[in-house]
């Protein structure tokens, strides 16, 4: 995947099918857009996604309580999906004030070389968010590109959106999140090793959560650790006060402390408990580990949506 970041001075030489959006969480609505984009590959078009290097809310465009995916995590997902050109468009006062028609002419038509545009019905762009899906369609014949507008997908009565996914995380409902998104909720980074006084010699790993990411409900979750493309069953305690994931991997993994890893939360187990006796804490930790090992043996988690 070609990643274009930190510059507006780019030009794609090949014909493309493009989409524009925040794509936070990469949920089923986004997946429908990406599936439709892939149908243009047979025409020789390259797949191109334009997103933003910082959330638009940073400059006061809407509200946000943290992102689901960091830039690095989003890049990984789009690389796995098979996007050819991934643009992290610099978002600051000057670029946010580009008039919508100029954005179409300069970026969509000229720099991105778009021959087809596939967007959600709530797509906005340009100064004051004046550009929208219908505007893209209206200018399509003038600039010789096709437009497809993808309607919202629902989960019961709710429209599936990044906002909805965040509500699920705040409630600890990572199981439903996993059913609505391409990946389970996860965080990528490096561990630091700490010890637990349970049974002697046992240890868990601590991962700091990036400041920009939303934190799920505090408590204990059944989880999976991804290390060198292998999956390891684990149990994770989420602590919002210190913004860390405390993770115990059943059996441990040699060398994992010095490598990049990801932790995916699969199902909520219990709320955070304050212990006044070390013996009570140790007993509960042992119980959590036993329950977790049993759960992982009985459950086969669906890992990712198909595109």
At 211-266, the pLDDT tens digits run: 989 999 999 999 999 988 889 999 999 999 999 999 999 877 777 877 899 999 99
Architecture of the domain delimited by 186-298: Beta Barrel (2.40)
User: Helix or strand or coil: residue 140?
Assistant: helix
Q: What is the mean pLDDT of residues 159-164?
A: 95
Mean pLDDT of the chain: 89
Q: What is the mean pLDDT of residues 149-178?
A: 95
The predicted structure's pLDDT at residue 34: 97
CA angle 155, 157, 162 (to 5 degrees): 50
Report how far residue 287's alpha carbon sits from residue 50's, in angstroms, rounded to the nearest whole number. Answer: 46
Q: What is the mean pLDDT of residues 65-94?
A: 91
Q: In this prediction, what percent of the chain has a pLDDT beyond 70?
A: 92
- Could you tell me where in the chain the CATH 3.40.50.620 domains are found? 13-158
Full-model pTM = 0.90
CA angle 5, 21, 3 (to 5 degrees): 25
- Could you tell me where in the chain the CATH 2.40.30.30 domains are found? 186-298
Instruction: Name the CATH superfamily housing domain 13-158.
Output: HUPs (3.40.50.620)
**Strand arrangement, sheet containing 230-239:** 185-189, 261-270, 219-227, 230-239, 244-249, 203-208, 191-195
């Amino acid at each position: 995947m070609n990643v274009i970041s930190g510059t507006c001075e780019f030009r794609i030489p090949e014909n493309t099918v493009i989409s524009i959006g925040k794509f936070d969480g990469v949920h089923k609505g986004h997946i429908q857009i990406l599936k439709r984009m892939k149908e243009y590959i047979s025409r020789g078009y390259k797949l191109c996604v334009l997103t933003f290097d910082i959330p638009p809310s940073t400059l006061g465009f809407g509200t946000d309580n943290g992102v689901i995916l960091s830039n690095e995590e989003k890049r990984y997902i789009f690389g796995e999906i098979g996007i050819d050109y991934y643009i992290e468009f610099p978002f600051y006062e000057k670029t946010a004030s580009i008039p919508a028609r100029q954005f179409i002419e300069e970026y969509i038509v000229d720099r991105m070389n778009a021959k087809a545009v596939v967007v959600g019905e709530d797509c906005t762009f340009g100064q004051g968010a004046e550009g929208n899906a219908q505007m893209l369609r209206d200018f399509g014949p003038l600039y010789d590109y096709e437009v497809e507008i993808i309607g919202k997908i629902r989960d019961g009565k709710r429209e599936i959106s990044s906002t909805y996914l965040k509500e699920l995380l705040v409630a600890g409902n990572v199981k439903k999140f996993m059913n609505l998104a391409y990946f389970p909720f996860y965080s990528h980074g490096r561990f630091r090793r700490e010890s637990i006084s349970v049974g002697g010699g046992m240890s868990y790993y601590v991962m700091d959560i990036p400041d920009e990411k939303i934190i799920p409900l505090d408590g204990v979750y059944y989880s999976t650790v991804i290390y060198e493309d292998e999956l390891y069953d684990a149990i994770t305690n989420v602590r919002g006060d210190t913004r860390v994931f405390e993770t115990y991997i059943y059996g441990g993994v040699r060398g994992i402390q010095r490598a990049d890893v990801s932790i995916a939360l699969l199902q909520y187990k219990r709320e955070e408990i304050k212990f006044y006796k070390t013996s009570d804490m140790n007993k509960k930790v042992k119980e959590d580990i036993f329950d977790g090992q049993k759960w992982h043996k009985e459950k086969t988690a669906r890992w990712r949506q198909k595109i």
